[in-house]
Each structure stands twice: as C-alpha cells, then as structure tokens.
Homo-oligomer: A and B are copies of this chain.
Amino acid sequence: MTGQVPTEDGAHARITTPRSARGERTRGALVRGAREVFERDGYLDARITDISKAAGVASGSFYTYFNNKEEIFAAVVEQVQEEMLHPHLRERTGITDAREMIDASNREYLRSYKQNARLMALFEQVAQIDPTFRALRIQRGNAFAQRNAKLIRQLQERGEADPSLDPLVTAHALSNMVSRMAYMVYVLEQRIAFERLVGTLNQIWINGLQLREPGGHAS
C-alpha cells in the first residue's frame, strides 16, 4: 500500500515497494527530499529532478518508487500524518467539561498548525490544485464536523447549548472559522498573539453555542 491516494490504473504500475533495506532508505530519502523541496518551492514549482537531487539519488530513481509528483506528495502527507499523530496522543483523557474540551482542542490544533505552518500552507495549496487531495480534504472535514455535530447535539439535549442552532452547519462553521484563522495567522502571517487567538476563538465557540454551566442556572 503506497498510500491513501490510489493510482487510477494499477496495470502498468512499475512502482516498487522497497524490499531491501537499501530501498527503504532511498524511498525515505525521496520522501524527505520531496518535503524539503515542496516546502521550499511550493507544489507547482517542485520539479521531480529537484526532489531526486535533494534526496541525493539519480533522477531516474524517483520512478522506482513513485509515478509522479502527486504520488510522492501523497507519501509526504502520509508520513506527516504519522508524525503528527504519534507524539500528541490525541486521546483526551477524561475531559468532560465542554469549555475545557473546546480550549484543549483549539489550543492543540493551533499549536500543531503553527508548528507545521509550511506544510499546512502546502496542503492548502495542493487541495486547491489537485482534485484527489481536495476530495481528501473534504472527506476529513466532514468526518470532523460530524463528530462535533454529535457533541453539539448532546449539549443541546442536555440544555447546555442554544437549541436553535443546526448542529452540523454550526460544527462546520466553527471548525472552518478556526482552521481559517490558523491559515491566516500562520500561513499568511497576519500577526496575532497565540493566546489572544486561542482565547478569542474559544470565546466565540462558547458564545456561539451559548454554552451554559452543566447543572447551572442561566446566569
């Protein structure tokens, strides 16, 4: 399995899944080289030749592992995802308070986005250019929104959130708000201090949902 992005036609696939350690090393070098070049030059200006050069291999070696730019980009995405998932152990342990959850979630998202700003810029760009990745993006966004919508519904049922809001649309809207702000601040480099950013976004979530204390009385 080369990635989540399947090639349309597997018939003539000349791609090799590395069998030897050496192959593994070369493939790795290519993915690292690609990431370097992509981040430096952008997706469009990245030439296969440069990727090979950055990886320190012959230009032809690229084609031992990938068929085209799209495919190696998929590999970069995959690798990055592993990187971003492993360390942070997303499984929030026992956060029950909605406000805390919102803060933790936003904080973590923005921190990670800031950390990987170059990459995130790249993803935005490619999603804009390549239909495959655009589809992937949409998919992920939907999955995420679905989860949040469920949460919102639960809060509404418990009387802790504005019942007039459409849960799914709201989930999408608030998520988009956060991700777009992250883009604006860390990719477009509109300077806003981290805490001010998190704080404001949290507050808009809380206000937006009209979050009330769990067992609380309307203030």
Q: Which of A142, A188, A207, A209 has most B Cβ within 10 Å?
A: A207
Closest to A134 in B: B188
Q: Is A129 an interface residue (CB 8 A)?
A: yes
Q: Is A190 an interface residue (CB 8 A)?
A: yes
Task: Quickly give the copy total for this chain.
Answer: 4
Q: Is the CB of B164 within 8 A of A203?
A: yes
Report the separation of the CA atoms of residues A207 and B124 in the bound assembly, to the nearest whole angstrom. Answer: 30
Q: Report which of B44, B138, B170, B208 forms a contact with A44, defined as CB distance below 8 A.
A: B44
> A32 contacts which chain B residues (CB < 8 A)?
none
Closest CB of chain B to A136's CB: distance in Å?
Answer: 12
Evaluate whether A162 and B201 lie within 8 angstroms (CB atoms) in the complex, with A124-B128, A128-B128 already known: no
Q: Is the CB of A172 within 8 A of B184?
A: yes
Bits for A170-191, please: 1 = Cβ < 8 Å to B, else 0.
Answer: 1011101101110010001010
Q: Report which of B134, B201, B219 forms a contact with A218, defined as CB distance below 8 A.
A: B219
> A197 contacts which chain B residues (CB < 8 A)?
169
> A164 contacts which chain B residues (CB < 8 A)?
203
Report the separation of the CA atoms of residues A152 and B92 in the bound assembly, to the nearest whole angstrom. Answer: 35
Closest to A188 in B: B138
Bits for A200-219, please: 1 = Cβ < 8 Å to B, else 0.
Answer: 11011001111000000011
Chain A residues within CB distance 8 Å of chain B = 44, 124-125, 128-129, 134, 138, 141-142, 162, 164-166, 169-170, 172-174, 176-177, 179-181, 184, 188, 190, 192, 196-197, 199-201, 203-204, 207-210, 218-219
- Subset of 18 A-B contacts with CB under 8 Å: A124-B128, A125-B129, A138-B190, A142-B190, A164-B203, A165-B200, A166-B200, A170-B200, A170-B204, A173-B177, A173-B181, A173-B200, A173-B201, A176-B180, A177-B177, A204-B204, A207-B209, A218-B219
